Amino acid sequence: MPGSFDIRREPVIVSFEEKSAFTEVYGFVGSQGKVFLEGQRILPVGCDSDTVLVFMHPATTLNLMPLPAALARAGRHILCCGSRFAKNDTPLIMEKVAADLGAYIRYAREELGYDKVVLCGWSGGGSLSTFYQAQAERTTITETPAGDPYDLTAMDLPQADALMFVAAHIGRAHTLSEWIDPSVIDESDPDVRDPDLDLYAGPVKPPYSAAFVDAFRTAQLARVRRITDRVLEQIEALKRSGGGEIERGFITHRTMADPRFLDPTLEPNGRKPQWCYMGNPATANNGPVGLARFSMLRAWLSQWSLDHTNADALRAIPEVTVPLLVVENEADDAVPPSHPRGVFAAARMQDKTYQVIEGATHYYKDQPEHEAEAVALLDRWLSERNL
**How much is the pLDDT for 140?**
98
**How much is the pLDDT for 23?**
79
Q: Is the confidence at residue 4, as pLDDT, over 80?
A: yes
CA distances from 69 to 26, 80, 174 (A): 29, 10, 29
Q: In the structure, what pLDDT confidence band is assigned to residue 310 with cuts at 50, 70 and 90?
A: very high
- Find the mean pLDDT for residues 42-60: 97
Please count the residues of the chain.
387
- Find the mean pLDDT for residues 98-112: 98
**What whole-number distance in Å separates Cα of residue 233 and Cα of residue 182?**
21
**How much is the pLDDT for 362?**
95
**How much is the pLDDT for 1?**
43
Residue bearing the bigger pLDDT, 2 or 238: 238
Q: Is the confidence at residue 3, as pLDDT, over 70?
A: no
Residues facing 250 on adjacent strands: 295
Q: In the structure, what pLDDT confidence band is assigned to residue 30 with cuts at 50, 70 and 90?
A: low
Whether this prediction's pTM lies above 0.75 is answered by yes
- Find the mean pLDDT for residues 146-172: 97
**How much is the pLDDT for 31?**
66
DSSP 8-state code for residue 220: H
Name the percent of the chain lying above pLDDT 70.
98
Name the burial class of residue 18, with classes exposed (0-12), middle (13-18) and buried (19+) by CB atoms within 10 angstroms of its CB: middle
Express each pLDDT in 185-222 by its tens digit. Answer: 999 999 999 999 999 999 999 999 999 999 999 999 99
**How much is the pLDDT for 26?**
74
Mean model confidence pLDDT for the chain: 96
Q: For the chain, which domains are there?
A: 7-171+309-384 (3.40.50.1820), 174-304 (no CATH)
CA distances from 33 to 23, 82, 141, 156, 237 (A): 10, 19, 21, 19, 28
